[in-house]
Amino acid sequence: MRTVAGFYRDCQEAVGPQPPLEVLLADAIGCVLAEDVQAPFDLPVADLAGCDGYAVRTGDLEGASADNPIELNVTAELHAGDVDPMATIKNGAVRIASGAPIPTGANAVVALEHTDLGEAKVQVTREVVEAENIRPRAQDVRAGDVVIKRGTRVSSRQIALIAGVGRNRVLVHPRPRVVIISIGDEIVEPGQPARPGSVFDANGHALATAVADAGAQTFRVAAVPDERATLRQTIEDQLVRADLIVTTGGISYGSGDTVREVLGLLGTVRFDSVAAWPGHVLGVGKVGDGTPIFCLPGDPVSAQVGFEVYVRPAVRAMQGWSQLNRPTVHARVDSGWYSPKGRREFVRVRLSGEPRGGYRATVQGTPTALLLSALANSNALAVVPEDVTDVQPGDTLACMILD
């Protein structure tokens, strides 16, 4: 029997970071940088006005106040983007817009609200200090600086800086394309009429959204019957667009081994009994030209638990993440139960509390019953170690936070 840790390693070894790809900035959102981004120039590239006002020499305004305004000659006007050389003269001022370059000789900007807004001459009603309202050259970044490090996840904030230093493309680990395939004769699409023996495709929809939440691109395939030729054709068709395939269903020992037989023809996939509950039969391997594939149980709760424990960390690894697993906290459980000997159990719980006062984990449903309603009401999975069989009320367990 494979341990949880051993199967986790198998899943990690089956994947790897997506090969770096240079993409436009709009396509980099949510991706992890595969390069250090360096600034090719100073930012700002020159001393700039920090507000609308007048560029002045501080010495010309000594003693200025509301009761003693000092009048200066307005010699020119500068706008943001102007590059023509310009200089201030003694007792002179240059009308300047926010973001415009500071003229030679000026060492401060007096804001408009401290002036009479004059055009030919301006009266200033307060003193200013050197560098007031000036954004100095290279205040933000210097040429050659690494402004964003490799391994950073790109959000709109990073896009602003990358664009600000003149880059329109960047090297990233692209989001993997993950194909979800639900397998079983009994599966029907939600919205279709129910019939005796049918099961709505909870797994396909749940896993597709879980994969998207993990940052990958999702392609959900309509449920595939257990018929071998159809299943093989479906998997072969998806290989052209899949960086990872995730299947659910068709792997239990009583299923006729449909999935095992088909995957045996398409690649090398190992199926194990894993020392876990729920989800004790799982598969991992590669098909086609090396596309990794994970095979999860058909039970929706088991499939979701398997995704959280094994698949989600692998999807994050494919994106270049360093933090792969869900965060955990320790919490006191509100009830007791028997946990299967030799298996690591993942129990659906709802966490409450806060760090200072501690956390409480309220068990949802019955641990042995795999209820979708209990899973929907949960925000964490309480983890019972393999060597614990008797969980008592008030015991403290590590809990994987799902929300």
- pLDDT, tens only, 163-210: 999 999 999 999 999 999 999 988 999 988 878 888 999 999 999 999
List the strands of the sheet with 169-173, edge to edge: 21-24, 169-173, 32-33
Q: Are 292 and 244 in contact (CB under 8 A)?
A: yes
Question: What is the pLDDT, as a whole number, of residue 129?
Answer: 96
Can you give the pLDDT at residue 174?
Answer: 95
Per-residue pLDDT tens digits for 209-234:
999 999 999 999 989 998 899 999 99
Q: Which helix (H) or strand (E) holds 183?
A: strand 177-183
pLDDT exceeds cutoff 60 at 296 = yes
Where does the pLDDT of residue 85 fall: very low under 50, low under 70, confident under 90, or very high at 90 and above? low
Other residues' Cβ atoms within 10 Å of the Cβ of residue 238? 20
Task: Give the mean pLDDT of the chain.
Answer: 94
300-315 average pLDDT score: 97
Higher pLDDT, 374 or 84: 374
pLDDT at 83: 81
Q: Which residues, 6+ apart, have CB-to-CB distance to 377 below 8 Å?
A: 348, 350, 364
C-alpha span between 288 and 270 (Å, rounded): 15
Average pLDDT for 266-281: 94
How much is the average pLDDT of 244-272?
Answer: 87
Whether residue 385 is preceded by a cis peptide bond, meaning omega within 30 degrees of 0, is: no
Q: What is the CA radius of gyration of the chain?
A: 32
Q: What is the DSSP string of 186-227?
A: TEE-TTSPP-TT-EE-HHHHHHHHHHHHTT-EEEEEEEE-S-
| pLDDT at position 46 | 92
pLDDT for the residue 144: 95
Which position has the token pair 């210097």?
142
User: pTM value?
Assistant: 0.84
* Rounded distance between C-alpha atoms, residue 246 and residue 251, angstroms: 12
Question: At residue 257, does pLDDT exceed 70?
Answer: no
Q: Where residue 378 falls among pLDDT bands split at 50, 70, 90?
A: very high
Q: pLDDT (tens digit, 9 = 90+) per residue, 118-162?
A: 999 999 999 999 999 999 999 999 999 999 999 999 999 999 999
Residue 254 pLDDT class (50, 70, 90 cuts): low
Give the whole-number percent of the chain exceeding pLDDT 90. Answer: 89
| Alpha-carbon gap, residue 22 to 161, rounded angstroms | 17
Looking at per-residue confidence, does 219 or 85 come out higher? 219
Name the residue type at position 121. Answer: K
Say what the pLDDT of residue 119 is: 93
